Amino acid sequence: MSDTKLWYDKGADGWKQGLPLGNGQMGAVIYGDAAREVWSLTEVTYWSGKAEETPFAPRDKADLEQLKSHFWNGDYAAGEERAAALLQSEKGNFGTNMPMCDLILTFTDAIGGGVTRELDLENALYGFKCEDRTGIRREALASHADGVIAGSLASSRSGGVSFTLALEGRTERFTSTADPESGVLSFAGKATETMHSDGQCGVRAEGRVRVVARGGRLTARGGRLVVEGADEAWIYVAASTDYDREGEAWRTECATAVERAAAKGYAKIREDHIADYRGLFGRVDASLGNSSESGVLPTDERMSRLREGADDPGLFALFFQYGRYLTIAGSRADSALPLHLQGIWNDGEANRMAWSCDYHLDINTEMNYFPTEAANLADCHLPLLRYVERLAEAGRRTARDFYGAPGWVAHVFSNAWGFTAPGWHYSWGLNVTGGLWLAEQLRVHYEYGLDDDFLRRSAYPVLKEAALFYLDYMSVHPEKGWLVTGPSNSPENSFYAGAGRERSYALSMGATLDQVLVRDLFAFCLASAERLGIDEDFQVRLRKAVSLLPPLQIGAGGQLQEWLEDYGEAQPDHRHVSHLHALFPGAQVTPRDTPELAEAAKRTLANRMDAAELEDVEFTLALFAGGFARLGDGELALRQLSYLVGRLCFDNLLTYSKAGIAGAESNIFVADGNFGGTAAFAEMLMQSHGGVIHLLPALPASWHTGSIRGLRARGNAEVDLVWSDGALTSATIRAGSDLQAVLRYRDRETGFTLRAGEAIVVDAELRA
């Protein structure tokens, strides 16, 4: 076993031990044992709810100015009361992504014993072996090339494959029928529920399951397919929905896909799947040296030993590559929607609570895409970038109706149809930079790829419209003359104003996160307009606005302030640390350029970590790890990653949010921890911002020997690193575009220039 395999020596009791597959549209989490196997099937567009306009009476500038005056005067109670009247929306049919159905395989003659389950990340294959008398071998894959989820079942003895295949719907409106002559199970469903919509509206789905057997007999009984005495059998599954579709042509797409797959055959599907997948996954190799546990112990035992303090560098390399695998499985260039709260998978837990399996815009959806560019998976970024463009279109009405402003705005969360209004309570729903936070991914994608056509066609127009909104919406501080946002949240936190502790408040003027995001927005729009040679009047407005933005501030306790004022923290153990966006993944705070602010950010991290009741959820630990990586502290970054991997992952290495936090009724899988942890791993080995490529900036002692090939740096470059005994051996930088940058390792720096297609190899002294 290598550090690109998850493997286990026992069956999986349920979803939280299952192993995920995905082709960017459909997902499956596979769990079970020798006698029973379940494929929990999902589809990224299978949403309850519908597209609808938020009912709202448009406000004028006088309403907003009167609202802001309460906050300028320090009357937060009156301000929040007025905000509740002016700026809260109705929930309506917001909806949620829904699980589709379970495909259940029952093996009547299985005994069990000698079970091995694995997920091969190099080839995106699920495998199951059983050393009982049937010698059953099961394999499954999710093919992007052929648009199906496919499985193979074989036995070590002739006629040893016998099973029953059934479907169970995960939504109330679900039917299935079996055709014994064709070996096909057909199903139809509608994604309805009553927690997040009216129980009537939702996306419709059609699906097909085709079974092909060699030898034996295939029949249908009681709505199930039954295979008896076959030498081998193959399963092909496809589903299609009417999401964003007109007419009825979508209904036949799944049937066409499974028929083509059956005609093509599993062996060729497998071959094409691996070639397609490895074209992405194979861009990066990572090794942290030999781990004694990696070839001997199952993944869950390695995690258990990590919790007990074992040294297992290879487990972190596995976690990193798992994050890349999940990105490819969940978000392909042609995916209809980006990764939601659970990627493209869905265990049904968030749907039945007030959470919703949706697009949270105050860290979760952003973090899903934190590693995409550095991990050399820019193609997988595209579904999110298209979604942002759609969000901008919907957000124009919200900007006009709620704020009387031009441009576009979105708030704390969104859905499959681009919901952009504030949430239905001001305490968390008035995150006025949620859409901007997500739209930053356009800037990030451009910084890595330097595609001027993308800049001209997409990034600049969308971000210019965002800038137009904030230029209109922001206000001048009556005492300090700063240009600030507000009223808005620092997600989803609260504070005490003054000496009193009777009541905490959520809304204020100029929350730090807002100011960090707006500064980056204005700077990017200004640089882009200059590069494109357009919008001179707009450039003048931006330069003036940038000169009026408030600075980042250090509070009396030495911490980086979360708000414009040095308020008391009502919940110092809060899970959100969004004001540290300036440190990670942003770069307005760095140890080299802003040492005092970097120390304040470090104090903020320490304060959160030391809090007795820290809300230690998956995204928080990923942010801690990324923050310490930016501060150059590899040991503290590793400590956070160790906690994330060892204590906030299910046995299948999927990260979770703990029960009791933010209303969670159980430990719930949330994908952002996997992606945030993957990004933090990359940051520990290489960072690129401000025109500098920083090599091994936060290498912990236990990762003393290793290599990584194919990390991507801003400026359209790829970086390979080799190190031994804690020191760099060699670094290779390959330029995809003309590149002029600074190379940094420890206390050494050197400038270099490469033409597109050229490469440079340096040693620890940065000598070529």
CATH number of the domain enclosing 202? 2.70.98.50
Q: Label residue 612 by pLDDT band (50, 70, 90).
A: confident
Note whether 595 and 723 are same-domain residues. no
One domain for residues 437 and 578: yes
Write a three-state SS string for 41-93.
EEEEEEEECCCCCCCCCCCCHHHHHHHHHHHHCCCHHHHHHHHHHHHCCCCCC
CB crowding 458-480: b at 16 or more within 10 Å, else e: bbbebbbbbbbbbbebbbebeee
Task: Return the CATH number at 461.
Answer: 1.50.10.10
Q: Which of 121-125, 179-183, 217-221, 371-375 has the lowest mean pLDDT?
A: 179-183
Note whether 131 and 253 are same-domain residues. Answer: yes
Contacts of 646 (CB under 8 A, 6+ apart): 303, 306, 307
Residues 728 and 730: their CA atoms lie apart, in Å, by: 6
Answer yes or no: is pLDDT of 11 > 60: yes
Last residue of a domain, one of 264, 282, 300: 282
For position 68, what pLDDT does the model report? Answer: 96
Cα pseudo-dihedral 683, 696, 747, 524, rounded to 10:
-30
What pLDDT, on a 0 to 100 scale, did the predictor assign at position 452? Answer: 97
Q: What is the mean pLDDT of residues 425-451?
A: 97
Question: What 3-state class would DSSP assign to 403?
Answer: helix
517, 361 Cβ separation under 8 angstroms: no
CA dihedral 242, 245, 249, 251 (to 10 degrees): -10
For strand 125-129 and strand 116-120, is the pairing parallel, antiparallel, or unpaired? antiparallel
- Do residues 278 and 408 share a domain? no
555 falls within a domain? yes
For residue 292, what pLDDT is reported? Answer: 62
Dihedral sign from CA coordinates of 289, 290, 295, 296: negative
pLDDT in tens, 292-316: 666 689 999 999 999 999 999 999 9
**Does residue 226 contact residue 251 with C-beta atoms inside 8 Å?**
no
**Domain match, 700 and 609 both:** no
* 134, 229: one domain: yes
> What are φ and ψ of residue 3, in 5° steps?
-85, 30
Q: Is the pLDDT of residue 133 over 70?
A: no
Which among 415, 375, 368 has a CA at the least distance from the CA of 391?
A: 415
pLDDT digits (tens, 9 = 90+) for 158-186: 999 999 999 999 999 999 999 978 889 99
Confidence of residue 380 (pLDDT cuts 50, 70, 90): very high
> What is 320-331 written as a DSSP string?
HHHHHHHHHHH-
Best CA proximity match to 119, nearest among 681, 652, 645: 652
In DSSP terms, 239 is beta-bridged to: 207
Structural domain contains residue 587: yes
Exposed, middle or buried: residue 757 (CB in 10 Å: 0-12, 13-18, 19+)?
A: exposed
Q: Is residue 205 part of a domain?
A: yes
> Tell me, what's the pLDDT at 756?
98
The predicted pLDDT at position 157 comes to 87
**Number of structural domains the chain divides into:** 3
Q: Is residue 390 part of a domain?
A: yes
CB atoms within 10 A of CB 83: 24
- What is the mean pLDDT of the segment spanning 640-653? 98
Q: Has residue 229 got a pLDDT over 60?
A: yes
Query: Quick one: 700 and 562 in the same domain?
Result: no
pLDDT band at 1 (very low <50, low <70, confident <90, very high): very low
> Is pLDDT above 80 for 113?
no
Domain boundary among the residues 282, 306, 336 is at 282
pLDDT at 386 over 80: yes
747 alpha-carbon distance from chain centroid: 34
Mark whether 706 and 577 lie in a shared domain: no
Beta strands in 374-426 (DSSP E): 413-414
Distance CA 195, CA 192 (A): 10
The dihedral built from the CA positions of residue 281, 373, 429 and 52, taken in this order, carries a sign that is negative
Amino acid (1-letter code) at residue 187: F
pLDDT value of residue 528: 98
* pTM (predicted TM-score): 0.98
* Residue 242 falls inside a structural domain: yes
Asked whether residue 90 is domain-assigned, the answer is: no
The stretch 145-161 carries a mean pLDDT of: 94
Per the structure, the complete domain to which residue 718 belongs is given by 695-762
- The better pLDDT of the pair 191, 34 is held by 191
Same structural domain, 604 and 699? no
What integer is the mean pLDDT of 444-452? 98
Would you say 435 and 408 are in contact if contact means Cβ atoms under 8 Å apart?
yes
Q: Which residue has the higher pLDDT, 170 or 60?
A: 170
Q: Are residues 606 and 701 in the same domain?
A: no
- Statement to judge: residues 370 and 273 lie in one domain: no
Residue in the structure block whose two tokens are 């320090």 = 74
- ∠ CA 112-304-370, nearest 5°, is 105
304 within a domain of the structure (yes/no): no
Chain mean position to CA 434: 15
pLDDT in tens, 562-575: 999 999 999 999 99
> Is residue 548 one of the residues assigned to a domain?
yes
Tell me the pLDDT tens digit for each residue of 311-325.
999 999 999 999 999
Local confidence band at 134 (pLDDT 50, 70, 90 cut-offs) = low
Contact residues for 764 (Cβ-Cβ < 8 A; gap 6+) = 727, 728, 729, 745
pLDDT at position 109 is 74
Tokens 């001209």 belong to which residue?
Answer: 456
- Residue matched to tokens 């104090």: 603
Burial (0-12, 13-18, 19+ Cβ within 10 Å), 700: buried
Contact 173, 190 (CB under 8 A): yes
Statement: residue 383 has pLDDT above 80: yes
Q: Are residue 256 and residue 115 in the same domain, yes or no?
A: yes
- Average pLDDT, whole number, for the chain? 95
Residues forming a β-bridge with 232: 154, 214
pLDDT at 594 over 80: yes
* Spatial separation of the C-alpha atoms in residues 681 and 698, rounded to whole Å: 10
Instruction: Answer yes or no: is pLDDT of 420 > 80.
Output: yes
- C-alpha pair distances (Å), 179 with each of 70, 208, 211, 261, 262: 68, 11, 11, 18, 16
CATH number at residue 735: 2.60.40.1180
Q: What is the DSSP string of 245-261?
A: --SSTHHHHHHHHHHHH
Q: How far apart are CA 347 and CA 325, in angstroms?
A: 19
| Domain limit, last residue, from 282, 312, 340 | 282
